[in-house]
Structures are given as structure tokens and as C-alpha cells.
Chain A
Amino acid sequence: MSAAGPRADVIDEHVAALSAALHGPARAKSRLIGEIRDGLMDTAAAHAADGVPRQRAARLAVREFGTVDDLVPSCQRELTIAQARHTARTVALTSPFLVACWYLAGSIDQGQAWQLPRTAQLVAVHLAGVATFAALFAAVALAATGTLARRLPTPRGLPLVVAWAGTTASGAMAGAALALVTAAALATDWPLLVCAGALAAASHAAVAASARACRHCARLPVT
């Protein structure tokens, strides 16, 4: 075993335990964990430079940084907000596509001998409305967790609300994908409708995954 072995083991075990306890967007989590690991290594190196044996220096560094239970609440709060922002950004970026898809379907509808059934048209309007509302709410959530949070405290329940807004938007996108593919089967200009349906399905997949992760994060205890 190298001289640095015990130090790395103690710190790596601590970082691994912390990493296992935290949930959030991979990039944000990796950055936070990486910075904490660097800080632990620096702290241990500073103690070792003062003449403390390496293994004891590592244990001192871990003690000064705090136990996993000490660190998880504040780290998880940031990761939960990062996940909520990720979900809100995904909803805000993909929902306009859904509205565009319906606009496309409507414009094709105008020039065809066939027409979308009245019920389908009403469903389309409602799904587009849901997507527009979700996109607007997502934009507000992004502002509320960004620079606006300097002046206004971020509501504790906001990540959960964002998660359910994302879930609702993803449901609207799934419905839109199904309706567009069904309409494509009836239309002569079907390739455009199939493309629009595929776009709606891709949006649904992206938003649903992010919203599911956000629901999970929002249920975890934070400070």
C-alpha cells in the first residue's frame, strides 16, 4: 500500500457515501461531489504538511467537513433546486414545440378534403393550452429560483410543484403524439404529421424523465 493509500481510502469512502445519499442532475451532482473531494484532499494535505500522520490527517479532514448526515440536507437542497430548474428548462423549451405541432396539424387540416373530428380539435386546443400554461409556469419557476431569489425566498414546495407541472406537460405531449400519429393515418400529407408526432413523443420522453427525477428529489429531506 502506498503512503497516500489510507488517506485516499478514508476520503474516498466518505465521498462515496455522500454520493450515494445525494440525488439530482448528474452534472450538478458530479460537480458538487468533485469540489467536496478536492476540498477534503486539500484539507488533509494541509494537516499532513503540519506534521500530522497521513491517515490521521484524512480523518481530521473528514471530521472538519462534517458527517454525511451533516452535509446531505444542504447539498440535497441545492441538487433538488438544480433538478427543478432542469425540469423547468426542459418544459419551457419543449412545450412551444407541442403548440407548433398543433399549429402544423391545423394548417394541414385547412387544405385537406378530410377534417380532424370536432372532438380531436377540442382535445388539441386543450393540450396546447396545458403546454402553454406549463411553459409559462416553468419560466416563472426558473426566475424564482434564479436571480429573483435574492429578494424573494424560494417556496419550499416549489420543486414538487415544478415536478407535477412537468408531469402534466409530459402527459399532454404523450396525448399530442398519439393524436398526431392518428391524424397522420387519415391525412394525405402524412409525413409532416408523423414528424410532428415524433417530435411530440421525443418531448414527452425528455420531460417525463426529468419530471420523474424531480418528483423523487422533491420528496427528499432538505434544510
Chain B
Amino acid sequence: MKADVVRGHLDGLLLAVLEEGPLHGYAIIAAVQRRSGGVLELRTGTIYPALNRLERLGLLSSSWQSVGERRRRCYALTDAGRHTLAGERTAWSEFTAAIGSVLNPAVNPAVPPPGLAP
């Protein structure tokens, strides 16, 4: 999937991989790549300013934790972050359903608009 498309959904991707527990930057990158099967085309360095922004918005919190022999800044979802993630999932489901109805009308028959019904 193209980088521009992925960038538009970056917030949702980051919130989703943090749902199971706190992770540091590289672990977040690895989780996104593992879950996507490496299909997403993403400049992984752009994840760090995105994490900063989500923390500024109060959707993530961060703290220093020991990971192996080094101390890393680990990010965790806040309650507001969980709420936003639920909203992202709903919006994505509606979006894919709508696009699917147009691309594959046989598989996803759309409700005909008023006035066009037989």
C-alpha cells in the first residue's frame, strides 16, 4: 500500500498496536510491520513525530522503562486513546464497506438510492 495512503491512517495503526500494552518506538515499528505482513509502505522514521503528536493530544502517555540493557521511552494508550481507536475502527469499517459496495456490487449489493428502486 502506498506511503501517502498509509500516512492517512498512521494514527489508527499506532493506537491499534499499543492496545495490548506499552511498547517502545522500535517495537511499535516491528508490530506494525508484523501485523501488516510487510505490505505497508512506510518511512518508519515518521512514526516518532507521530508518537510525539499523539502524546501531545493526550491519546498516549509515555514513560522511561528498562528494555533489555537500555532505557527506552515506552508509549501506552490512555483512556482517550482507546476511545479514539474505537472511533477509527468504526470509521474504517464504514469506509471499506462503502468502497466495497462500489467496487464489488455483486458481493456487496448496495441499497438503491430513493427514486431508483424498482
List 24 A–B pairs whose Cβ atoms lie within 8 Å, in order of A's numbering: A28-B52, A32-B52, A36-B25, A39-B25, A39-B26, A39-B45, A42-B25, A43-B26, A46-B26, A64-B43, A64-B44, A65-B43, A70-B43, A70-B46, A74-B46, A74-B50, A75-B48, A75-B49, A77-B49, A78-B52, A78-B56, A146-B56, A146-B57, A150-B58
Question: Is B73 an interface position by the 8 A CB rule?
Answer: yes
Q: What interface size band does chain A fall in?
A: 20 to 34
Distance A46 CA – B27 CA, assembled complex (angstroms): 11
Given A43-B26, A74-B50, A36 contacting B84 (CB threshold 8 A): no
Smallest CB gap from A40: residue in B: B45
Binding site for A on B (CB under 8 A): 24-26, 29-30, 43-53, 56-59, 70, 72-73, 80, 84
Given A70-B43, A71-B43, A146-B58, A38 contacting B72 (CB threshold 8 A): yes
**CB-defined interface of A128-157 with B at 8 Å, one 1/0 digit per residue?**
000000000000000001110110000000
Q: Do most interface residues of chain B lie in helix, strand or loop, or is the interface mixed?
A: helix
Question: Is A106 an interface position by the 8 A CB rule?
Answer: no
Distance A66 CA – B29 CA, assembled complex (angstroms): 13
Chain B residues with CB under 8 Å of A146's CB are 56-58
Cβ-defined partner of A78 (8 Å) among B24, B26, B49 = B49
CB distance from B80 to the nearest CB of A (A): 7
Chain A residues with CB under 8 Å of B72's CB are 38
Question: Is A81 an interface position by the 8 A CB rule?
Answer: yes
Chain A residues with CB under 8 Å of B70's CB are 38
Q: Do most interface residues of chain A lie in helix, strand or loop, or is the interface mixed?
A: helix
CB distance from B105 to the nearest CB of A (A): 35
Distance A70 CA – B70 CA, assembled complex (angstroms): 28
Question: Is A35 an interface position by the 8 A CB rule?
Answer: yes
CB distance from B55 to the nearest CB of A (A): 10
Distance A150 CA – B29 CA, assembled complex (angstroms): 23
Cβ-defined partner of A65 (8 Å) among B30, B45, B50 = B45
A147 engages B58 (CB within 8 Å): yes
CB distance from B28 to the nearest CB of A (A): 9
Smallest CB gap from B24: residue in A: A38
Distance A77 CA – B72 CA, assembled complex (angstroms): 23
**CB-defined interface of A40-83 with B at 8 Å, one 1/0 digit per residue?**
10110010000000000000000011100011001101100110
A35 engages B43 (CB within 8 Å): no
Smallest CB gap from A74: residue in B: B49
B52 engages A70 (CB within 8 Å): no
Cβ-defined partner of B44 (8 Å) among A28, A39, A82, A150 = A39
